[in-house]
Amino acid sequence: MAFQWQARVTAADHGRLLRDVLRSRLGISSRMLIALKYRGQILLNGQPITVRAQLREGDVIELYLPEEAEARVVAEDLPLSIVYEDEDLLVVNKPPGQIVHPIPPEPQGTLANAIAWHWEKNDISRPVRIITRLDRDTSGLVLVAKHALSQHLLTQHTEMIDKYYLALVEGTPTPLEGTINAPISINTANPVTRLVSPNGRPAQTAYRVLRSGEICLVQARLLTGRTHQIRVHFAWIGHPILGDQQYGHGSPLIQRQALHCHGLRLVHPRTQQELDLLAPLPEDMGFLL
């Protein structure tokens, strides 16, 4: 299995070197160029070409790269809620209670096992390349790259991806709209968790209250991507997420933290068009509302 990537040279790129266009327009790194050179192919108007070739408007660039390895995750016939799929991307709606990747105590039953089954039943052999991850008990949208170049572009250009969450929190934050700006570091007393610390890495979460009350519905947007960021930030301002036993306390109303990644907005790495995807609230959060 190999991917094919095609792009047409525009007037703005006329006269430029192929390697410069690949780096600036597609964001391809030197490492990826080397992989294409030695394990794949770079074609210009259907002919193999050096990356030092000079381009003309209307030229067609094609990239080919075989998969590096067979699928490394055991395929397992599990439910998989597909929100969007094309030749480059897969977006799924993860249920609460499911971990994303196999880990030694839990080698099966994960989202990656379900995706591997989706590949297998479509006669595709490829690694599972998950780009955006969620905690076990956080539900919602997860982005998956279907080949190496798509993975490279999405991970090298994280500004192409916006993630939006819905959360039920205890009490109503004030102001009703703002940005929580508080650095986050590993909790040395319990390395599984995180905490706000002046020695931590910068972390910003934008939020907006959608429904106020003793239990409040908020929309949160990640401006940075720290582990447990939304959960840590809302606990720090005194409004922990409902049911979050790590950063708040349990609740008889819900058996997990009431956090759901409901929106994913990204610039498609191939077409450069904006994708705006949504996932409805899962049953437990919807019931509470």
Distances, alpha carbon 55 to alpha carbons 35, 59, 99, 207, 250, in Å: 21, 7, 46, 46, 61
For the chain, first and last CA: distance in Å?
46
Quick one: how far is CA 263 from the chain centroid?
11
| Active-site hit among 13, 59, 88, 135 | 135
Q: Which tokens belong to 264?
A: 């994913």
252 Cβ partners below 8 Å, 6+ apart? none
Quick one: how far is CA 108 from the chain centroid?
21
- φ/ψ of 27, rounded to 5, equals 70, 30
Q: Treating both helix axes as pointing N-terminal to C-terminal, what angle do 148-156 and 30-39 enclose, rounded to 10 degrees? A: 170
The residue to which tokens 């959360």 are assigned: 167
Q: Which tokens belong to 121?
A: 């039943």
Residue 135 appears among annotated catalytic residues: yes
Residues assigned a catalytic role: 135
